């Protein structure tokens, strides 16, 4: 017996094929038939007047904080998103030492318009490193697939501390820098203002961490 039949929806399968009205049968967690499905499923869903399509992949989200208290990523899941990428724009909440939590959250308040109160109330800081953060997400068993980018801001703060808001990468080579994280902003030509554009500044009057280039000689 089929586990689930989604009846009479307008199927848009993502292949580029024209939409069509069809039933979708699901057996053991996989689609087993699309078309006119006879018999009754263990569960039946009437989708007439609705679209039936694959889950959407949202490549650009900032659920890094919200996932720690909302494993459903509300309201993305309401809109059919089934995969989210977090850590975009260089902003993330891990890695993060306890003394850096405040500046990390204030960055998200400024550049992503998040509520400081909501984050302070919602985040359980049970991680400092990036792997520990991923483990914490795993324990929450998110309803959506999560792909996490390593946020440039978080890494700069982790490596440089307060200096992360005050300058680019140190001229001296540090063993703590092992990877290139790209750069969101091209340094100004010599002689002009080398600071990041004003929109990338935080409320405290410092450029936000990801606004600085990794180094003036970094490759694009």
DSSP letter (8 states) at residue 85: E
* Continuous segment of H or E residues that includes residue 6: strand 4-11
What's the closest the beta carbon of residue 202 comes to Zn ion, in angstroms? 15
Of 2 and 208, CB closest to Zn ion: 208
CB of 111 to Zn ion, least distance (A): 8
159: tokens are 């490596």
- Of 6 and 181, nearer to Zn ion (C-beta) is 181
Residue with the shortest CB distance to Zn ion: 89
Which class for 56: exposed (0-12), middle (13-18), buried (19 or more C-beta within 10 A)? middle
Query: Closest distance between Zn ion and the C-beta of residue 210, in Å?
Result: 10
Nearer to Zn ion by Cβ, of 91 and 158: the residue is 91
Q: Which helix (H) or strand (E) holds 135?
A: helix 130-140
Instruction: Please classify residue 180 by burial: count the beta carbons closer than 10 Å to its beta carbon, then call 0-12 exposed, 13-18 middle and 19+ buried.
Output: exposed
Nearer to Zn ion, 170 or 197 (CB): 197
Taking the complex as a whole, the smallest distance from the CB of residue 153 to Zn ion amounts, in Å, to 11
Q: Which two tokens stand for residue 58?
A: 């949202």
Please give the residue ranges that form the binding site for Zn ion (CB under 5 A): 88-89
Shorter beta-carbon distance to Zn ion: residue 22 or 155 = 155
Strand partners of residue 20 = 11
| DSSP-derived secondary structure for 67-80 | GGT-TTTTTTGGGT
Structure tokens at 51: 């679209």
Quote the least distance from Cβ 173 to Zn ion, whole Å. Answer: 30
Q: Which is nearer to Zn ion, 76 or 88 (CB)?
A: 88
Q: What is the CA radius of gyration of the chain?
A: 23
Q: In the complex, what is the shortest distance from the CB of residue 169 to Zn ion, in angstroms, rounded to a whole number? A: 22
């Amino acid at each position: 017996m089929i586990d689930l039949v989604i009846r009479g929806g307008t199927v848009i399968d993502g292949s580029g094929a024209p939409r069509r009205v069809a039933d979708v049968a699901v057996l053991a967690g996989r689609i087993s038939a699309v078309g006119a499905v006879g018999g009754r499923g263990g569960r039946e869903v009437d989708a007439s007047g609705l679209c039936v399509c694959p889950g959407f992949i949202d490549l650009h989200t900032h659920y890094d904080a919200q996932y720690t208290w909302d494993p459903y990523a509300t309201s993305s899941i309401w809109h059919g998103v089934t995969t989210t990428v977090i850590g975009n724009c260089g902003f993330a909440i891990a890695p993060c030492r306890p003394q850096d939590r405040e500046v990390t959250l204030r960055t998200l308040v400024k550049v992503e318009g998040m509520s400081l109160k909501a984050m302070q109330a919602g985040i359980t800081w049970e991680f400092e490193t990036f792997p520990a953060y991923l483990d914490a997400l795993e324990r929450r068993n998110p309803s959506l697939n999560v792909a996490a980018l390593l946020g440039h801001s978080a890494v700069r703060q982790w490596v440089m501390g307060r200096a992360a808001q005050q300058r680019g990468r140190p001229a001296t080579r540090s063993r703590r820098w092992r990877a290139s994280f790209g750069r969101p902003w091209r340094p100004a030509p010599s002689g002009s203002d080398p600071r990041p554009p004003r929109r990338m500044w935080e409320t405290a009057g410092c450029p936000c961490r990801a606004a600085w280039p990794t180094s003036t000689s970094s490759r694009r």
